[in-house]
Amino acid sequence: MKIMTMPTRPFPGQKPGTSGLRKKVREFAQPGYLENFVQSIFDTLGDCRGKTLLLGGDGRYFNDKAIQTVLRMAAAAGYARVMVGRNGILSTPAASAVIRKRGLSGGIILSASHNPGGPDADFGIKYNLGNGGPASESFTEAVYRRTQEISEYRMLEARDINLGHIAETTLGEMAVSIFDPVADYAELLESLFDFEKISELFVRDGFRMRFDALHAVTGPYAKAILENRLGALEGTVINAVPLPDFGGGHPDPNPVYAAGLVAEVSSPGSMLSFGAASDGDGDRNMVIGPNFVVGPSDSLAVLAANHSLIPAYAGRLAGVARSMPTSRAVDRVAEELGIPCFETPTGWKFFGNLLDAGKATLCGEESSGAGSNHLREKDGIWAVLYWLNILASRGETVEQIVRGHWRRFGRHYYSRHDYEALDAAGAEMLFACLRDVLPSLPGKPVSKTKVRMADDFAYLDPIDGSRSERQGVRIMLDDGSRIVFRLSGTGTEGATLRIYLERYESDPECLAIPVQEALTPLIQLAGELARITEITGRTRPDVIS
């Protein structure tokens, strides 16, 4: 076997977003495209000799081919060992768990998270650091700069590795370990929660739930934990086999793409008390009860308010953190607990410094993600187990718990409106116009209130002093309402405009208003301020969540 040095040229647009590089499969499949990006990662890391790399992904189309490419390039880079999840499967939270437990130098995760899969759909790749968390902005920026100047990549000339069996093999002088992708992760979760109490809920109390893995990566994990370890009935986990195209579905855990789950839990005569789902790579979650969907922002607040019921968090929380667009429901819990609440830009990597420094224990963002200091990624199954532990301890339904939370803390009416696949130039013009009017907005009358503050959110990291600019336009009103405009960094086609709308209500008589009705004045104001129809031609959002 010999190492080949292959001449190449830069590809435009290999700039990682909030969760790595995501493009269509057809782009990644171009000769040299994946290789350029991987070589740029290795070049940015520097000397890789003697180190151990973790490798795996969510099983989507092109995952198997990409793993073989990365293996041959890792051998050429001098890695001593690469650990690969069996069949190339490795959820994002499990990757973080393995890196941390085994003290690995880092890992490459092949996933486009909640984006659809298949030959005409999406693929993604990102690098996680030795703390188990996503690479910092400074690292990803250095990788991007390298992609713009790269002239060659290196690869071992070698056969494909059999990924289907747990085994030790070699690729040139590099060891390759095919390992069980579930074991370390399941062991970690069992150390956090009261598995005995949750098991009693299933076995003694006859509690029934449904977990929809959406034919994505969490199927094997949920089967092993919920059915095999906790004693949930066989068949509790559905769509459990990871498929390259996610069975033709969309691996995003929300009421639209998991409509079958919502219908099953809420159907007349259903024996199910609880439903849950996770996404393509296992870091997002949705939890529901009969005729009741828990919003991600409310979920984070409920988790924080009930931390004393969870063995790993029963003591005082160090603090909580949320992404800026996430509703401020958890802020009120933090205030009552007397702990800090940090507001960061979107992207789990921004929580890493807070977690490493012991400043935060629980973190979450509005895009169905929550996690804690047990990992450096958000964690879908962790959130589901947290809810199960709360249900087992309180003996109430999901709806009773959330409505009780609203009565105690007030309700943050909250919604996100997405305008997808916009012309990129038009989206940039919309934001330029928004930024131009920001200075004139404070004091502007709006319905029964007025604009208190308008800015473009910038974040100063309290740990390392780094600063992140232009993280979202915020319009804050005197009555506590808020509108946030942001361009998403997770799409692969055009631009996605996300508008976040939030209104706080503490009157017990006004806690059951339909969400979109409660937010109608803010929806109208957002359209006017951003001139959405005028600039984009769109009259309504593509997705409302």
Residue type at 379 in one-letter notation: D
Q: How many C-beta atoms lie closer than 10 Å to residue 46's C-beta?
A: 7
Q: How far is CA 541 from the centre of its chain?
A: 22
Q: How many C-beta atoms lie closer than 10 Å to residue 458's C-beta?
A: 12
| Active site annotation includes 113 | yes
DSSP 142: H
DSSP 411: E
Q: In terms of C-beta distances under 8 Å and separation of at least 24 residues, what long-range contacts does 158-165 make, across chains too?
A: 158/1, 158/72, 158/75, 160/68, 161/68, 161/71, 161/84, 163/64, 163/67, 163/84, 163/86, 163/87, 163/88, 164/86, 164/87, 165/86
Q: How many C-beta atoms lie closer than 10 Å to residue 533's C-beta?
A: 12
E-assigned strand segments in 245-319? 274-278, 285-289, 292-293
Cα–Cα distance between 64 and 166 in angstroms, integer? 16
Q: Give DSSP secondary structure letters for 171-218.
A: ETTEEEEEE-TTHHHHHHHHHHS-HHHHHHHHHTS---EEEE-TTSTH
Q: Are 32 and 4 in contact (CB under 8 A)?
A: no
344 contacts: CB under 8 Å, gap ≥ 6:
321, 322, 323, 324, 350, 351, 354, 459
400 is written with which tokens? 């009773």
**Residue that is written with structure tokens 């909580």 in the block:** 320
Name the catalytic one among 19, 111, 113, 297: 113
420 is written with which tokens? 């997808």
Q: Give DSSP secondary structure letters for 513-543.
A: S-HHHHTHHHHHHHHHHHTHHHHH--SS-SE
113 is written with which tokens? 């998270």
Cα–Cα distance between 67 and 61 in angstroms, integer? 11
Q: At what angle do helices 92-102 and 183-192 cross, to 10 degrees?
A: 90
Q: Which of 214, 364, 198, 365 is nearest to 277 (CA)?
A: 214
Residue type at 168 in one-letter notation: E
**What's phi and psi for 496, nearest 5 deg?**
-115, 120
Cα–Cα distance between 353 and 255 in angstroms, integer? 33
Q: How many C-beta atoms lie closer than 10 Å to residue 534's C-beta?
A: 11
Residues acting as catalytic residues? 113
